[in-house]
Chains A and B, each alone.
Chain A
Amino acid sequence: MKKHQRLIALLLAALMVVPAFASGSQEAKAQAAGTPEDPVTIELWFGAAITEAGMIPDDWVGYEIIRNELGIDLKLSMLPSSESDQDMRIQATGAGNALPDIFMVRRPVLVNLVNQGLVAQVDDCFAKMPVRTSLIYDQDAINNATIDGHVYGFASPGAIVRNEGLLVRKDWLDNLGLEIPTTTDELLEVLRAFTFDDPDGNGIDDTYGYGAFVETDATLKGYPGSRLWPIMGAFGVEGLWCFDAPNQGLSIYKPEFYDFMVFLKQMCDEGIIDPNWLSYKKDDFRAAWKQGRFGVMYEQNAAYAAEANYAPFDSNFPDGEWVIIDAITGPEGHASIGAYDMNYRIYAVSQRAADAGKLDKICELLEWMSSDEGYYLLGWGVEGVNYVFDENGVPVAGDLGDNAFTGSEGQVYTQLRNMVFYNSDVELISRYPTYTCAVSGKEMSALTALREMQGMKWTNAVGSSTLPTPSADVQRFYDQSLAEFLSGAKALTPENWAAFIDQFNKIGGEAWNAEGVAAMEAAGLVRE
């Protein structure tokens, strides 16, 4: 009995002690000098380039270089891979007033954090990093991190813009003796032929015309999502917001939006759009085109043409060929591939870090990242170990094998590269090399695809991401109503449509629109 009691007492004591010693380490010590001997600790939460590859190993040379040259003890933490997880973690940390010194954050979350007074203003910082500012932080970028007239973060370019395109199976067109469609009527003909005339000649009725899935967000890609943009573009309603006077505001208010809905409903009813489109997630969609399920789709350049992504299609259909086509023209002459906004990754500095006097050190770190040393180290690794320069001065993998920046061992050393890349030609050539397909022997390059896609008719919607987002109820009403019109749960008639708009206005849509238009006008985004 005594033994057990002692055991319990011991455990009890342990439980009491745990919090005591753990909280002791919380208090920061006196201000560090910022020298290699007495480095300033900077905690950086970054969005990894390849989250699935894992964390940068703790013996990375960068830690030492940064300590020796900048007097910074860098503490890295990789953010989770999904955006909602990132938001969750950053907001929870924010709620605990324990944000790290510098962290990547999406703009809507940044707005919340700024409202809470958790983020430092960095208006004066750009002058302290001349090189990086000239390379990365142009006015658009600075605007993207500006909230109520102050800059609250460093926005660096994210994914390249206008990197998606409308793709058609050229081999299917040839099999059926069809031309590339240019108008909505021609598109319908092609979609019907692809669905009902056995374009792949396998004798089975297993193909559809258009393939898609629902890809939406709260600022740019309204329901039914960007994968239908080329069709929405034919009616002039691509993009959640319209920036052209006198129609500035939500595209849903345009009468053409109804026409688009009628057209899409017709596609659904005729069965010429893959009926799974409402149930697909991104991966299912991507698996489906690789299986030859449909012949027209909207896809992103690298998802379509990068070597690893194209390889399954190539081995399934060595004779298959996708071509990138220009926007389809609608009955009233509208045509657009889609709406684009600049993509930025914002790195914000916490107010705590600024209060601790770390802002200058952070600027020093960022400026160093854009120096030649930092740029190549973070972007590609160590020369001769992870990359070599080719004759044009482009970093390439050469014969470095697994240790190359493209190899399984080497790639983890480039996890921070999104902090230094700015979509320069060198990066793109290095990122999207030309390759030969394993089965068909075709020459492919995601860069060529990108350039082709960028050359099509696009709608400028820059600034969308700075516009207000709706409340969850308004968002649900918007998505749900449109979805119900498409599924037939609600009959798509002009009366019902008017009733829908009416109700939408009532529950907060009107206020959302007004707020958006005001923000648009204030930022000078409205085009005459």
Chain B
Amino acid sequence: MKKGQVTAVAAGNGKQKSKLYREIVRHRSVYLLALLPLIYYIIFKYIPIWNAQIAFKDFKAVQGVMGSAWIGFENFKEFFNSFYFWSLIRNTIMYSVGKLLISLPLSIILAIAIYECTRPVLRKVVQTLAYLPHFLSWVIMYGILLTLLAPGDGVFNDIVKMFGGQPIDFLSNTKAFPWVVLFSDAWKEMGWSAIIFIAALMGIDVSLFEAAMVEGASSWQRVRYITLPSILPVIVTVLILKLGTILDAGFNQIFMLYSPQVYSVADIIDTWVYRQGLLEFKFGLATAVGLFKGVFGMILVLLANWISKKVTDSALF
């Protein structure tokens, strides 16, 4: 919308034939392309952000968003003063950073392995099946984890017991639980996330490999100097985007897996908001937490974008 107006206004004042004006005119069809999506953004993304003012209000449904009374930062204070605030932040960051460190590299490695695999049958089978665990809901995954890890009759503990060890209750032990969360997430999602990297690998210029081989580069060197740099922009993009939602640590997964024994290492911001805000009609509070997460994410995105511009020369904006 805004850009469309700019174009119209600029076209009206024909006097200023600056470079900028010429550029804008030259790109007028691009603005036209942007028009519909931008209107969409204003309606479906910015009106909710406008509605998010209830974070600063004592939201009363009857009075609506505009009619409710302003209460300043009360909702934010309730969150910051929560008894478990620091534990929530710590757990949330632990899981989201952990997932970035485990799931993301694994999915990149998987994509490269699929790309490099020299056995067509193996490659085809893996490529065709890898995404499927994504569809196993956490309810089902919980059942599978229980089969593997239950202290009573889990496969893993059966093996431990066979060697005379003490069974470990992975799902209710505070030391083991975070690893269960991180690795079960990698297990379920790595094939799905790898698809995007496989798509990126398709764009690599084959002649680069040919040239490298002629020059006697080994497979390792090819991966290191051709494959990885070629998909680096996509990796960086994914990484920056994931940093933007760093305070989302996977509600569905945690909500399904956690229990009171492991609350101390499992309760994350989203599960807290669910219990304290959404189920209690404290929508102002829930929205305030959303805004808080947004500020945090925005800072990280800008920071990561800046660093990435310096280091890799590819950035979001």
Interface residues of A in 1-59 (CB under 8 A from B): 1, 5, 8, 11-12, 15-16, 19
B267 — which chain A residues lie within 8 A by C-beta?
476
Cβ–Cβ contact A487 & B276, under 8 A: no
Cβ–Cβ contact B60 & A117, under 8 A: yes
A241 at the interface (CB under 8 A from B): no
Cβ–Cβ contact A487 & B275, under 8 A: no
Cβ–Cβ contact B276 & A12, under 8 A: no
Task: Kindly report which residue of chain A lies nearest to residue B33, judged by CB atoms.
Answer: A8
Mask, A89-123, CB within 8 Å of B = 1, is 00100111100000000000100110111100000
B174 at the interface (CB under 8 A from A): yes
Task: Kindly report which residue of chain B lies nearest to residue A84, judged by CB atoms.
Answer: B279
Mask, B260-282, CB within 8 Å of A = 1, is 11011001000010011011110
A276 at the interface (CB under 8 A from B): yes
A484 — which chain B residues lie within 8 A by C-beta?
261, 264
B259 — which chain A residues lie within 8 A by C-beta?
214, 278-279, 483
Cβ–Cβ contact A279 & B36, under 8 A: no
Task: Kindly report which residue of chain A lies nearest to residue B257, judged by CB atoms.
Answer: A279
A475 at the interface (CB under 8 A from B): yes
Cβ–Cβ contact A112 & B280, under 8 A: yes
User: Cα distance A177–B169 when bound, in Å?
Assistant: 33
Cβ–Cβ contact B153 & A281, under 8 A: no
Task: Kindly report which residue of chain B lies nearest to residue A5, judged by CB atoms.
Answer: B32
Q: Given B61, B82, B279, B280, which contacts A97 in the complex, CB threshold below 8 Å? A: B61
Cβ–Cβ contact B62 & A116, under 8 A: yes
Mask, A445-473, CB within 8 Å of B = 1, is 00000000000000000000000000111
Task: Kindly report which residue of chain B lies nearest to residue A224, judged by CB atoms.
Answer: B260
B35 at the interface (CB under 8 A from A): yes
B133 — which chain A residues lie within 8 A by C-beta?
none
Task: Kindly report which residue of chain A lies nearest to residue B60, judged by CB atoms.
Answer: A116
A477 at the interface (CB under 8 A from B): yes
Cβ–Cβ contact A94 & B281, under 8 A: yes
B64 — which chain A residues lie within 8 A by C-beta?
97
Q: Given A206, A214, A473, A482, which contacts B276 in the complex, CB threshold below 8 Å? A: A473
Known: A8-B33, A477-B83, A487-B172. A15 touches B151 (CB 8 A): no
Which residues of B line the A interface, CB within 8 A?
29, 32-33, 35-36, 39-40, 43, 59-62, 64, 82-84, 142-143, 146, 150-153, 167, 169, 171-174, 259-261, 263-264, 267, 272, 275-276, 278-281, 283
Closest A-B pairs by Cβ, 6 of them: A472-B276, A483-B260, A112-B281, A479-B260, A472-B275, A480-B263
Q: A5-B32, A351-B62, A471-B276 known; 12 other A-B pairs, CB under 8 Å?
A: A1-B29, A5-B29, A16-B39, A87-B279, A109-B281, A281-B142, A472-B276, A473-B276, A480-B260, A487-B169, A487-B173, A507-B83
